[in-house]
Amino acid sequence: MINIESLTRHYQMGPTTVKAIDGIDLSVGQGEFVSIIGPSGSGKTTLMNIIGCLDSPTAGQYSLAGEEVAGLSRNHLAEIRNQYIGFVFQSFNLLPRVTAVENVELPLIYAGIPARERRKRALEILKKVELDGREFHIPNPNKSEPKRSKRKSITIDSADKAIGRISF
């Protein structure tokens, strides 16, 4: 699924070259769970940015689902992210003024999925993470929520975590 060979990402800082990643090999198979650990400054974020197709390496090969992505343009990388990559951010990164279901639909718009199908799929996904009943809620982190029972709060918090609304 993910095949990385001799991957290098150097940053040029004036006269200094920062070798954030310097020739690494990594293979991750379909369905495999992998965590990347290491001390601060060891290049974890740099590597994740490349694996997530947010950045390109300065040298080396990266093939994702059989496609070589190391040298692709920004637009082509955006297409790959749209089709293959899901991110769970520490902050929720939801659009604050549109509903939960519209937030879920957003990547499907870029993927060219027709409106009716988008809505159907987005509602199914929200149900899967137990957010049914909150589909038309507008996420607003600053708004104080009315008091609710502890049990209900826990349920909503778990659902919020499932879509990355709360940092943990």
Binding range to Mg ion, per CB under 5 A, among 43-51, 104-112, 127-135, 145-153: 43-51
Closer residue to ligand ATP (CB): 55 or 79: 55
Work out whether 49 is an interface residue with Mg ion (CB under 5 A): no
Closer residue to ligand ATP (CB): 70 or 156: 70
Q: Which of 3, 45, 56, 61 binds Mg ion (CB under 5 A)?
A: 45
Smallest gap from residue 18 Cβ to ligand ATP (A) = 4
Site string for ligand ATP, 18-57 (x = CB under 6 A): x-x-----------------x-xxxxxxx-----------
Smallest gap from residue 45 Cβ to Mg ion (A) = 3
Smallest gap from residue 11 Cβ to ligand ATP (A) = 3
Can you spell out the DSSP letters for the chain? -EEEEEEEEEEEETTEEEEEEEEEEEEE-TT--------TTSSHHHHHHHHTTSS--SEEEEEETTEE-TT--HHHHHHHHHHH-----SS----TTS-HHHHHHHHHHHTT--HHHHHHHHHHHHHHTT-TT-TTPPP-TTSPPPP--HHHHHHHHHHHHHTT-S--
Give the residues lining the site for Mg ion (CB under 5 A): 44-45
